[in-house]
């Protein structure tokens, strides 16, 4: 773990495993979030995340994160998640595509 950079993960599915191979030894694994709680708990156990969440906004409000990766399985969530991260002052690298138009974005 590198000193200083605090990492959060949004979406704990298959694609996120690749991110963990790259990040888990470099950054402090602060929190992970998935709407399916067992997935978040598995990532916590496997990769050493400090806390788990099922709500992105709760994670962003409660944790002091430097950056996150958004590894959700559906495109329509990503724009809202990225905007919520930016509003919280957390850098969200845009490694996956977001909807081409604002009207296609939704987040329950």
- Residue with more model confidence, 93 or 24: 24
Mean pLDDT, to the nearest integer, of 44-73?
93
Mean pLDDT, to the nearest integer, of 1-20?
83
pLDDT over 90 (residue 44): yes
Domains contained in the chain, CATH given: 6-95 (3.40.50.720)
Q: Which two tokens stand for residue 24?
A: 């888990």
Helix (H, G, I), strand (E, B) or coil at 32: strand
User: What confidence score (pLDDT) does residue 107 get?
Assistant: 46
User: What confidence score (pLDDT) does residue 26 get?
Assistant: 86
Share of the chain above pLDDT 70, in %: 81
Question: Among positive and negative, which fits the CA dihedral 104, 12, 95, 55?
Answer: positive
User: What confidence score (pLDDT) does residue 56 get?
Assistant: 94
In whole angstroms, what is the distance from residue 85 CA to residue 69 CA? 10
Average pLDDT, whole number, for the chain? Answer: 83
User: What confidence score (pLDDT) does residue 95 get?
Assistant: 57
In whole angstroms, what is the distance from residue 14 CA to residue 60 CA? 22
Mean pLDDT, to the nearest integer, of 38-50?
95
The answer for residues whose C-beta is within 8 angstroms of residue 61's C-beta and 6 or more apart is: 88
């Amino acid at each position: 773990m590198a000193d200083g950079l605090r990492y959060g993960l949004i979406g704990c599915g298959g694609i996120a495993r690749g991110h963990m191979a790259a990040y888990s030894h470099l950054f402090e694994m602060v929190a992970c979030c998935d709407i399916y709680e067992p997935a978040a708990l598995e990532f916590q156990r496997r990769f050493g995340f400090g806390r788990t969440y099922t709500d992105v906004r709760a994670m962003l409000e409660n944790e002091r994160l430097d950056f996150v990766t958004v590894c959700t399985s559906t495109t329509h969530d990503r724009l809202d998640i990225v905007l919520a991260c930016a509003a919280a002052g957390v850098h969200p690298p845009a490694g996956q595509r977001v909807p081409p138009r604002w009207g296609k974005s939704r987040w329950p």
